[in-house]
């Protein structure tokens, strides 16, 4: 646990220092995976499904807001649908417009949620969505989750019926259009998945916002259980063939991701919980305070040894010129002796000069006479 907390602190420092570059790299990878998944599944137009187009769209969308990436993915899907069948593209355009009306109304700044939802279904792990959205978001996040689910099933329906649509003539085009519209609107599996995602997300978010101990762990487990129960019950009641392996495996993966998210975003010490009560003129306040777990990141220290150690085990101090303390002391002693010798020589010269002047001026004779 302590290693995970140390890793979290290091990741926080790294993100704080290089957040701009990290976000752009993640945005590029998301675009590359998204456009690659679209082109590999419904690549009906050969030019648009090329690797050059995939990488180019990912690079362009890296430097633009996430909303532009959602719109670019929508346009790419419609281009492939148009290459397959123009009526299918028209119906899909209307459905996309209805979804985006709700999307831009409730969560205009959460474009990546739509992409994450669709990719989770494409990767066969749909029930990690309620855990992630319920723990990190608000109840409004059910709107992009539902939009991403519907978008995935639209692509799935077109891919499943692509052979029939390509071989259909002009007379049967109308029947194919009606069949596709009915399949999208009346798909029991799609609406079951939408209902499961919505209910589980609301349950996870409700439990997570409670003041009970270990709320995030309970919320993750509750969301996984709700997904398994609702999806399995609907699978039996509606006589569907949705894989139980995908249901159980994705729910279990959701619990694991929930535990990791708790370590990264909500690591607290419930053993030191405090309950505080106070009041003012109008209200009584009952506060539950749970301290966060903080772990200092160990820093590496490098010891430089540039000289021989003394008997006490200490390295002798060095001055700016790199000389040791003993050498400094010797130098200082020599300097003092030089100064004292120079002072003696200067005093002797002054005495001799004074005597010579006294003899020349006759001052010595006057002193003797006076005596």
Q: How far apart are CA 201 and CA 223, in angstroms?
A: 7
Q: How far apart are CA 81 and CA 64, in angstroms?
A: 25
pLDDT 10s digits, 88-140:
888 888 888 888 887 777 677 777 888 899 899 988 999 999 999 999 988 98
Percent pLDDT > 70 in the chain is: 75
Q: What value does the mean pLDDT take over residues 333-352?
A: 54
CA-only gyration radius of the chain, Å: 40
Domain extent listing, the chain: 2-267
Q: How far apart are CA 313 and CA 74, in angstroms?
A: 72
pLDDT band at residue 324 using 50, 70 and 90 as cut-offs = very low
Largest Cα separation within the chain, whole Å, is: 156
């Amino acid at each position: 646990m302590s290693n995970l907390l140390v890793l979290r602190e290091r990741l926080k420092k790294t993100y704080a220092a290089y957040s701009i570059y990290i976000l752009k790299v993640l945005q590029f990878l998301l675009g590359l995976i998204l456009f690659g998944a679209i082109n590999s599944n419904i690549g009906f137009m050969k030019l648009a499904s090329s690797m050059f187009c995939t990488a180019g769209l990912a690079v362009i969308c890296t430097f633009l807001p996430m909303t532009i990436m959602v719109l670019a993915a929508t346009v790419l899907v419609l281009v492939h649908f148009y290459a397959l069948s123009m009526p299918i593209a028209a119906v899909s355009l209307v459905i996309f417009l209805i979804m985006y009306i709700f999307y831009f109304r409730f969560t205009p700044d959460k474009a990546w949620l739509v992409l994450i939802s669709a990719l989770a279904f494409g990767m066969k792990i749909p029930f990690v969505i309620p855990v992630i959205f319920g723990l990190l978001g608000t109840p409004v996040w059910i709107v992009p989750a539902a939009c991403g689910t519907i978008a995935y099933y639209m692509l799935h329906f077109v891919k499943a019926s692509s052979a029939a649509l390509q071989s259909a003539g002009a007379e049967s085009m109308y029947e194919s259009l009606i069949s596709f519209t009915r399949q999208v609107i009346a798909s029991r599996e799609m609406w079951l998945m939408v209902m499961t995602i919505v209910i589980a997300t609301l349950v996870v978010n409700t439990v997570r916002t409670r003041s009970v101990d270990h709320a995030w762990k309970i919320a993750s487990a509750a969301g996984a259980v709700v997904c398994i129960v609702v999806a399995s019950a609907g699978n039996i009641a509606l006589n569907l063939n949705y894989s139980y392996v995908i249901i159980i495996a994705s729910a279990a993966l959701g619990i694991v991701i929930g535990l990791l998210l708790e370590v990264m975003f909500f690591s607290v010490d419930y053993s030191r919980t405090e309950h505080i009560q106070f009041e003012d003129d109008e209200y009584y306040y009952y506060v539950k305070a749970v301290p966060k777990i903080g772990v200092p990141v160990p820093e590496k220290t490098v010891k430089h040894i540039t000289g021989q150690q003394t008997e006490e085990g200490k390295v002798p101090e060095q001055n700016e010129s790199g000389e040791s303390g003993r050498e400094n002391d010797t130098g200082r002693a020599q300097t003092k002796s030089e100064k004292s010798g120079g002072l003696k020589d200067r005093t002797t010269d002054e005495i001799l000069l004074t005597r010579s002047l006294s003899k020349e001026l006759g001052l010595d004779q006057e002193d003797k006479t006076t005596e």
